[in-house]
Amino acid sequence: MRLVATGGTISNRAGGRLTAEELVQSIPELPRYADAEFEQFANVASSQLTLAQWLALARRINALFRDDPSLAGIVVTSGTDTLEETAYFLNLTVRDDRPVVVVGSMRNPSTLGYEGAANLLQGFRVAADPAARGRGVLVVLNDEINAAREATKTDALRLQTFQTRGYGVLGVVDSDRVVFYRKPERRHTAASEFDVSTVTELPRVDVLLTYQGAPGDLIRAAVDAGARGIVIASAGAGAMSGTQFEGVQYARSRDVAVVVTTRAGSGRVTAGRGAVIGGEDLAPIKARILLMLALTNTRDPDELRRIFAEY
């Protein structure tokens, strides 16, 4: 097993961040479950990770799996603020069915009740479990296992923040064993078509919110600033407001892809026809990630619609 540490609250001790080695050493019972190696990829807040670092992280994980067939799985530490984004990006770009488990913590190591060591131990236990193979990238916090595609941070402060609205957890980590209840159905990891080994830069995709009287000129501004894709976090199941539809028409006239999702927190926006693409049940920030990767392969609306249906 290998820990790839990127930083986040789990490492953010007062007076200096914990290193990957210190994180492993903070779990005395870890050798019962895994022979853990470790490396420091980064040590920053998750919101400071760049898209270039996302690409580098995916390439590093793919290289670790490629170069070591005996490697059972990988645990990645991340700050929780953008953990769901990093996890979903890896879910689409790691080309192996061995488990990648992303963990973090809501409290820092200098705080009473710090849960980072427990989350890290549970992450290693999940990654070491043969049943985790083939389930895509997993998010493990608070003794619960969620799919990277579905996990959402639902509270700014509480330990139970990561949840899967509507579908429920994939499994749990209890004292006796890891228990799985279901598998994700959408394409991921080893079945993904996205190869980032030669991608040097992800295309710009912006997310814009629908609200009463929303101006379409914000969409025009994003397009004029270089966006190759736009994700609309719409009201309800796809409704836009104000002059947003005119903004969408402008985007399409400039060959900019437009994906419509919902701001509601759950629910599906249907595939649609013509100018716009339905984001299915993806959260807006995850639709952005899928669209960025899709645009490295195609701009054809029908192909983009297929990709959103399959992933």
Q: Measure the CA–CA gap between 71 and 105, rounded to whole angstroms.
A: 25
Residue 91 lies in a domain: yes
Residues 18 and 66 in one domain: yes
Would you tell me how many other CB atoms lie within 10 Å of the CB of residue 188? 23
Residues 77 and 213 in one domain: no
> What is the domain count for the chain?
2
Q: Measure the CA–CA gap between 240 and 182, rounded to whole angstroms.
A: 35
**Helix or strand holding residue 100 (H, E):** strand 100-103
Distance set, CA 282 to CA 10, 82, 142, 248 (Å): 27, 15, 23, 20
CATH classification at residue 156: 3.40.50.1170
Q: Last residue of some domain: 191, 221, 256?
A: 191
Say whether 9 is catalytic.
yes
Residue 178 lies in a domain: yes
Name every residue whose Cβ is closer than 8 Å to that of residue 234 and which is 6 or more positions away in sequence. 210, 240, 260, 261, 262, 263, 269
- pLDDT for residue 271: 74
Summarize pLDDT for 251-308 with one digit per residue, the tens: 999 999 999 999 999 999 997 766 799 999 999 999 999 999 999 999 999 999 999 9
The whole domain housing 258 covers 205-310
CATH classification at residue 250: 3.40.50.40
Q: Last residue of some domain: 142, 166, 191?
A: 191
Residue from 208, 220, 288 nearest 248 by CA: 220
**How confident is the model over 110-116, as a mean pLDDT?**
96
Q: Last residue of some domain: 191, 215, 238?
A: 191
Residue 197 lies in a domain: no
Residue 198 lies in a domain: no
Residue from 131, 159, 126 nearest 145 by CA: 126
Name every residue whose Cβ is closer than 8 Å to that of residue 297 and which is 6 or more positions away in sequence. 193, 194, 303
Residues 153 and 235 in one domain: no
Residues 14 and 47 in one domain: yes
Residue 281 lies in a domain: yes
> Tokens representing 67?
């170069």
- pLDDT for residue 273: 64
Residues 42 and 66 in one domain: yes
Mean pLDDT taken over the chain: 96
Q: Measure the CA–CA gap between 23 and 94, rounded to whole angstroms.
A: 24
Contact 78, 41 (CB under 8 A): no
Residue from 261, 212, 205 nearest 228 by CA: 205
Residue 232 lies in a domain: yes
Summarize pLDDT for 295-305 with one digit per residue, the tens: 999 999 999 99
Global pTM reads 0.97
Residue 199 lies in a domain: no
| Active-site annotation holder among 9, 77, 86, 210 | 9
